Structure 1
């Protein structure tokens, strides 16, 4: 189902790969918040995407990211102090008497300390690491769409909320980051043939059952080393009540698995279209769905090597 992917997050690389222009206002809208709103939440964006903006601009976006970084760093430092104190208190309690609460405080506190330190390190990095480009459902990513026949790069959330559905749809149907080929003319009929997008990725990740029954995450990478051009559907959602902000979101289309993916234990594979089909895919004719299925059938079939992900 492509529950996670390592994407082309840095905008300059994405633009060179796709020939797209950037829709600046959509990136500003993504990061903009009322600074007086203490409850504002930072959008989930791969750090590699933010590092690219901090390094190369545009300045409007870089400044908004710096503001988010400063606010988050302050909160992280406060939480780090709190968790270190929790660990120290738990260790002192254990010296006097072993209790389950003290043991849990030490265990959970140490885990939280490592998580916080990892995030602080990520915020300080000036060069991205591979995992900095990884997205999960609920994260925003660069996607390619067509506007007026021109290729445009926009940020969208990975997990599609179809137009006309209530906001609670995300919780009720958490799997809408995956659009199965056999449901395109059913569940996805309002998007298929109308609103198409493309995600550029280097790796996709899947949950599979290991021989011993445990869950394991496998990373699938094309042996060719070429980026995957993943066919997607997207939707522009607005709240009829005017309470929730507008949302652009997308889902990756999946098909029956490639043989090597099936052999590794998973039953779906993303649809990796050929470069010569990009514009035809992004500018669909809703009266000719067979032409779109033909693009799927003529897709790229690199051998997907796999490894267990960390």
Structure 2
């Protein structure tokens, strides 16, 4: 799973990567993005253009009567996207790219307090994780505010992450972004092959502290 990640590069950096519109100003770095907070994503707007947006994380299914869910929707498993009641429709119609500079995974050592590891590209460059999104609206005209939310797609870990955890986020390569975002692609088979583990080369992971709620540069510092 991916239960925490960082997004320290500014929105304009990610917008430049995808050649998308960015109307988000003064967004501070997030060294420790947690469930319940907002994630920076790239998606296709109603006009068919790429836009940067802030979406609530995790995903709230549109069929829920309240703005919460009984399901685990932080992550969506790549292997079950076509068979899951939760994910079939967004996988066909509402795909997005979730901006990140790194992500965390716990190592299961048999202890209650699991050591935390931070994974990032060796060159320090930002990247996009494959995501799904959707809009939740109050049912039947009831009070409440509509909002958009998202989930991170995970797959089997590559060799680097696999030393710590069996799964990792799907990291989409630049040449896959257009196909993944294309709203005209509604056949899952056309994008399923994109959901592979990231190549082993160019990635690194190292132990970090137990700052599970803190959001500061200290969270991503290497621990001996």
Give the TM-score normalised by structure 1. Answer: 0.60
1:267 aligns with 2:166: yes
Could you report, residue by residue, the CA deviation over 1:222-263 in whole angstroms, capped at 9, with x for unpaired residues?
A: 224332221100011101142221010000100011122121
Q: Which runs of 5+ in 2 are unaligned?
A: 210-224
Q: Is the 8 A contact 1:184 1:192 kept in 2?
A: yes
Q: In the alignment, what sits opposite 1:180? A: 77
The residue number in structure 2 matching 1:37 is none
Which one has the bigger strand percentage?
Answer: 2
Q: Within the alignment, does 1:196 sit opposite 2:169 as a pair?
A: no
RMSD after superposition? 2.4
Residue 251 of structure 1: aligned partner: 151
How far 1:199 moved relative to its partner? 1.1
Matched, 1:232 2:131: yes
Return 5+ residue gaps in structure 1 as ranges.
Answer: 28-51, 55-127
User: Aligned with 1:152: secondary structure?
Assistant: strand
Match of 2:34 among 125, 136, 141: 136
Q: Measure, in 1, the Cα distance between the counterparts of 2:40 and 2:131.
A: 12
Report which of the two structures shows the higher radius of gyration computed on alpha carbons: 1
Q: Specify whether residues 239 and 232 from structure 1 end up closer, same or farther in structure 2 by C-alpha distance, changes over 3 A only.
A: same
Q: 1:256 to 1:16 in 2, by over 3 A?
A: same
How many aligned residue pairs are there? 205
Q: Distance in 2 between matches of 1:165 and 1:257?
A: 31
Question: Would you say the 8 A contact 2:67–2:136 is kept in 1?
Answer: no
Contact persistence 1:9–1:133 (CA under 8 A): no
3-state secondary structure, aligned to 1:245: coil
Higher helix proportion (structure 1 or 2) = 1
Distance in 1 (alpha carbons) for counterparts of 2:43 and 2:115 = 33
Matches within 5 A, 1:143-182: 143-147=41-45, 148-167=47-66, 169-170=68-69, 172-173=70-71, 175-182=72-79
Is residue 9–residue 142 contact of structure 1 (8 Å, CA) maintained in 2? Answer: no
- Return structure 1 stretches of 4+ with deviation > 6 angstroms: none
Q: Partner of 2:179: helix, strand, or coil?
A: helix
| 1:53 is the counterpart of 2:39 | no
Report if aligned partners of 1:143, 1:197 keep a CA contact under 8 Å in 2: yes
TM-score, with structure 2 as normaliser: 0.81
Residues 17-69 of structure 1: per-residue CA shift (max 9 Å, x gap):
322213x5xx7xxxxxxxxxxxxxxxxxxxxxxxx528xxxxxxxxxxxxxxx
